[in-house]
Structure 1
Amino acid sequence: MIRNSKFTIFSILISITTLLSIFCTVKKKTPAEEVKISFDSQLLKLQSIVDQELLTAINKADEKAIKASFLQSRAQYKKIEYYIEYFFPSTSALINGAPIDEIELGENLIEEPTGFQVMEELIYDTPTPENRDELLNEVTKMQTNLKRVTRFNEQYEITDAQIFDAIRLEVFRITSLGITGFDTPTALQSLPEAAAALTGVKDVLKNYKANNELLASIETAISLLNNHRDFNSLNRIDFITDHLQTISNGIDKLRKKLNIKTTSSGSALNDDAVSMFQKNAFNMNKFVGNYTEYLSDEKIALGKSLFNSTLLSNGGNRSCSSCHHKGRAFADGLKTAEGLNGTKFLLRNTPTLTYAGLQRGFFYDLKAGTLEDQALDVVHHKNEMDGSLTEAAKRLNNDKAFPSAFKNTFKDSTVNITPWKIQHALASYIRSLAPFSSKFDRYMQGDKTQLNPEEKAGFNLFMGKGKCGSCHFAPLFNGTQSPLFTKSEAEVLGVPTHADTVNAKPGSDLGRFMLNPYPQYKYAFKTTTLRNVAKTAPYMHNGVYKTLEEVLDFYNRGGGAGIGIILDNQTLSSDPLKLSKKEMQDIIAFLKTLDDQ
């Protein structure tokens, strides 16, 4: 009996020891694994809000509950926006993409928009049986897309470097889009939603044992956003420099402390950029096709010589610099460019070439996909340079200086000048025209003496009440959207042929429609950069406005719709901005700080 008792006790001890051993050898989850688990949990919560609260409210036709549950679901999405945008970019466009048709030109395919922004338009419109049926359909598509994320995420194995890159880009996204009202133009919930996005970033950092200072800085920013429920009241320039950039610096310090390397990012920013406004934040080589097109000092110098040479035109009487004057930020000061061969003026205004390399489409109608293609088109255009790159190559091969310059630049022992080399050298020079040397740049880089109160107020209006920043995305202030900079956008503004507000007409230039006759493209023109804008008057694709005051008045009225031009496809909001004269002058004061010094 005693022996059996001893044996039983011994067996129990062995069992306990074995269980403890198994328990103690269970692998502790890494921070990256914890982030993934947390994301799954937050995604499940979002699905629950959509499935149970939003869907129920729509079925009950409870308008108050519809809005409340919609805003709740949007806020929940923002908490995991960093993750979905980074790991599931295609699906993120279906969940929270812009409410405009996406046209795939190569496939002749039109994809109708779906997601939260489409829902917002339906919810805040006057309720009708038709739009509530459409809203119900949107919720069904949302459910499908969220389930897709769940399935895909099961297969993902994420790294620390990817997570830190994702939250780095999310802070940039908040900077450029989140506080401008970009994806909530009707509900105007961008500030509390930006707070929700920062909450998601904070939750990630807790898994990496972020210090109290960093967590407190995020909490301060969240509180500030939540205390500014009035969309127009936030001092955005101080919020960016004093809060968001502080958070970015803290994230970068933590990454380095943990010896986590940067990863190859999908953004056109340098992988280690801590601020979009820092000097050399952009990697220009990410805007070209492959390594053979990377910039070099030799290519830039050769391109500059070609840019100023008349050898590219068959008549030997025109160069690129004939229409793009350095003193005017490489514009020409004319309403539309001067033409050749009996054409006194061309169809469109000559745009600045500064920062042209930091975009994904060229010409006002986006007909060229690269700067090399743009150079080809301009040289061969009958009324622009009336040239031929093949003939130009022959002339350059017979020149005294150019053959050796091409040989040194392209390391080509044959000294053979080709059309492609000419195009590429010109494109390289244009890509170099992005100095980021304005008063605004210096201010954002830490010199707080650069901007006066009027100029800072102008930035706040530009990014807030004026809604300029929701199309001219900081820090480039063109239509290439932050923080990835992978696509350049065009807008339908309803620009008139003459600078008047009586009997205004849109003119005969149909923009992108002339190349691709989709109704959505009628009167659509590329959103150009506002950098150096004070030097590049007159304005708009047709040069209709001589002053920035006229431009601001046009936008303040609601674009073409505000002056009597009715376009069903106008993408600019037709609602008047209600800016005072003083506020418009403040915006202009800010715009002038974008001139390179």
Structure 2
Amino acid sequence: MLSIFCKTETKTSAEQVKADFDRQLTEFQSIIDQKLFKAAQNQNEKAIKQSFLLARAKYKELEYYIEYFFPSTAVMLNGAPIDEIELGENLIENPTGFQVMEEIIYESPTKENRLELLNEVKKMQLNLQRVSRFNAQYQLTDAQLFDAIRLEIFRITSLGITGFDTPNALQSIPETAAALNGIEGVLEKYEGKVTDQTISSAITYLDKNSDFNTFNRLTFITQYLDPISKKINAVRLKKNITTAASGSALRDEAVNMFEPNAFNVNKFVGNSTLFISDAKIALGKTLFNDPVLSNGGNRSCTSCHHQAKAFTDGLVKPTGIKTGETLLRNTPTLSYAGLQRGFFYDLKAGTLEDQALDVVHHKQEMNGSLTQAAERINASKSYQTLFQKAYQDKTGKADPWKIQHALASYIRSLSPFSSRFDRYMQGDQKQLSTDEKQGFNLFMGKAKCGSCHFAPLFNGTPAPLFNKSEAEVLGVPATPDTIKPQLDSDLGRYALYNYPQYKHAFKTSTLRNITKTAPYMHNGVYKTLEEVMDFYNRGGGAGMGIKVDNQTLSADKLNLSKTEIKQIIAFLGALEDLP
């Protein structure tokens, strides 16, 4: 009997992590309940800021866990301060959480906004209670936890150190240290007390270099975050822990977002029938270059997408089939198009297959018919061979769906990650000049480019999941005139979906190969990157004096010097793919 009562249950490492999370979640709730709520009640401005920053730091320590296991609640705790619109359900979700609080706290206090802040704190209290209830029902696996901390390093790399979720308080550097503390706590449950200095050295570097604008992000990523990623993987392998079936579009075993073949392009498609193959790519490339898709037999995909120009055409706006006819918007690059979740500037297509369908059938673009194109293609023996190889079909017959999918497969192959920047991030330290390195640091920091053009894709598809593609309202003018600028009349997404938030909203395109894709913006208004940078430096359309009530880009001036602008442009040049 004595032995039964004295016996203690030994918890697994995963159970220890869960128990530790419960303890820290209680601490988090206490900060919200006892400090932030009371400060907001009393409208004590100093206490409000202090308790807010304390609460955010605690959240960051738990971020790896909350983002991974409670993604929907994570949006309510620390989501972007913009409305979430569910098109299929005609539902608008108003933002809530830390980022909304930060906007309120860092503006001049009024009775109204302080009541709004108090309401936001109450919402957070409820959301944390939801986390506590859900967590009690969870049984964690070792593989999930290692995937969670792996993805947290990628989140820090692409979002954390850019100030993405703390644009006013600019606390991304100290908050990164809190996030690393959380990761170290997990590793200690598997290794015992960690004597390895990998994470502690990174935290020391953050403590010594805490200024947001001057922080050397390139050094931090390559010399501190990368070694932490390798350490996480090494511990996982040592403990014989398998990889998890991750929700990220990266390969499950990817240790670094910048390593060769880090992305699994098949995770950007709906199901296994859409998986890419060399035979589908070869077929798609042939179709891409063949005017057989147009009913007139005089127009192919290459009419507007030239490989030498990173699959753009160099025109302000492309020409239509009829002489003198001009299309609505600038030709977007197809480079890295396969690694995003929405297509066309207004995101009207959800897949590359849908994009192909739209372009072929568009009266001004190709004026074709996939059904009629299939009939023409089926008269060709060479195409019959290509379709047999691509679809393992003895008949070798084309049909509209196979044509769409073959074109999409080719476009999905246009992501080589062969730039000098990629080679630098993979270990070749001679690839970037001093100006290019500084340009990257400015891009990811002071200039705030990286908070919309997310590394490593540098488009609007954010790490670490890469599960959605963003659109932004920039207030792009109709002409380059900076004295009396006028807003471009193109309504963007609003023309398709009648929500005020979508007025003049356009997809955030990739900046890879941008040196080849001039002119710029959806309307081709800017001929040079210098003009583009001047536009952003002024605070976009609203910063230039245009009335854009729903602009998502900050209207504050960036105050970049001419030298800094040149350095950013130099970095952008390093994103050009090499043969």
Q: Given the two structures, how large is their TM-score scaled by the length of structure 2?
A: 0.99
Q: What residue number does 2:6 align with?
A: 23
The aligned residue for residue 514 of structure 1 is: 495
Identify which of 153, 156, 167 aligns with 1:185.
167
SS of aligned partner of 1:232: coil
Q: Give the number of the structure whose alpha-carbon radius of gyration is greater.
A: 1
Name the SS of the counterpart of 1:485 in structure 2: coil
Q: How far apart are the structure 2 equivalents of 1:41 and 1:395?
A: 67
Deviations 1:422-456 (A, max 9, x none): 00000000000000000000000000000011100
Q: Matched residues in 1 for 2:509 and 2:431: separation?
A: 25
1:405 to partner: Cα distance: 1.2
Match of 2:407 in 1: 426
User: Which residue does the alignment assign to 1:320?
Assistant: 301
**Is the 8 Å Cα contact of residues 162 and 263 (structure 1) preserved in structure 2?**
yes
The corresponding residue for 2:200 is 219
Q: Distance in 1 between matches of 2:204 and 2:108?
A: 33
In 2: Cα distance, 1:470 partner to 1:85 partner: 18
Structure 1 position 500 matched with structure 2 position 445: no
Residue equivalent to 2:149: 167
Letter in 1 for 2:378: N
CA contact 2:386–2:396 (8 Å) conserved in 1? no
Letter in 2 for 1:42: Q
Q: Which residue of 1 aligns with 2:78?
A: 96
Instruction: Give the corresponding residue for 1:592.
Output: 573
Match of residue 254, structure 2, among 273, 278, 285 = 273
For 1:51, give the aligned amino acid.
D
Given that residues 501 and 564 in structure 1 are in contact (C-alpha distance below 8 angstroms), is that contact kept between their aligned partners in structure 2? no
Q: What is the alpha-carbon distance in structure 2 between the residues aligned to residue 343 and residue 75 of structure 1? A: 58
Deviation at 1:212, TM superposition (A): 4.3
1:146 aligned partner: 128
3-state DSSP of counterpart to 1:107: coil
* Counterpart contact for 1:180–1:469, Cα < 8 Å: yes
1:345 pairs with 2:345: no
**Counterpart of 1:324 in structure 2: which amino acid?**
H
Counterpart of 2:118 in structure 1 is 136
CA contact (8 A) 1:287 1:357 kept: yes
Distance 1:81 1:595 in 2: 34
Matches within 5 A, 1:182-581: 182-209=164-191, 212=194, 214=196, 216-342=197-323, 344-581=325-562
> Deviation at 1:179?
0.3
Contact 1:502–1:564 under 8 Å retained in 2: no
- Aligned pairs for 1:97-116 (under 5 A) are 97-116=79-98
Deviations 1:280-334 (A, max 9, x none): 0000000001000000000000000000000000000010011100101111111
Match of 1:69 in 2: 51
Shift in Å, 1:21 = 4.5
Aligned to 2:506, the other structure's residue is in SS state strand
Residue 345 (structure 1) shift: 1.5
**Matched residue type, 2:128:** L
Q: Distance in 1 between matches of 2:131 and 2:204?
A: 30
CA–CA separation in structure 2 for the residues paired with 1:139 and 1:378: 48
Mapped to 2, the partners of 1:201 and 1:19 lie a distance apart of 39
2 CA distance for matches of 1:442 and 1:201? 28
Deviation at 1:211, TM superposition (A): 7.5
Quote how far apart the aligned CAs of 1:578 are.
0.4
Residues 343, 383 of structure 1: 8 Å contact kept: no
| Counterparts in 2 of 1:213 and 1:550: CA distance versus 1, 3 Å | farther
Amino acid at match of 2:2: L
1:22 Cα deviation after fit: 3.8
Q: Aligned with 1:103: secondary structure?
A: strand
The 8 Å contact of residues 331 and 353 in structure 1, kept in 2 or not, is answered as: yes
CA contact (8 A) 1:97 1:113 kept: yes
Number of residue pairs matched by the alignment: 578
The answer to whether the 8 A contact 2:250-2:263 is kept is: yes
Deviations 1:77-101 (A, max 9, x none): 0000000000000000000000000
Matches within 5 A, 1:41-56: 41-56=23-38
CA distance in structure 2 between the aligned counterparts of 1:508 and 1:99, rounded to whole angstroms: 26
1:82 aligns with 2:97: no
Q: CA deviation at 1:342?
A: 4.3
Decide whether the 8 Å contact of 1:210 with 1:254 is kept in 2.
no
Alignment RMSD (CA, Å):
1.0
- Which segments of 5 or more consecutive residues in structure 1 lack a partner in the other structure? 1-17
Distance in 1 (alpha carbons) for counterparts of 2:460 and 2:195: 36
CA distance in 1, matches of 2:193, 2:423: 30
Matching residue of 1:10: none
Whole-angstrom distance in 2 between the partners of 1:302 and 1:367: 26
Task: Report if aligned partners of 2:188, 2:194 keep a CA contact under 8 Å in 1.
Answer: no
Amino acid at match of 1:481: P
**1:65 Cα shift?**
0.2
1:179 alignment partner, SS class:
helix
Identity of matched residues, %: 67
- Distance verdict in 2 for CA 1:421–1:178, change over 3 Å: same
Q: Is the 8 A contact 2:248 2:467 kept in 1?
A: yes
Give how far 1:461 is off: 0.2
CA contact (8 A) 2:317 2:523 kept: yes
Q: Distance in 2 between matches of 1:343 and 1:137?
A: 57
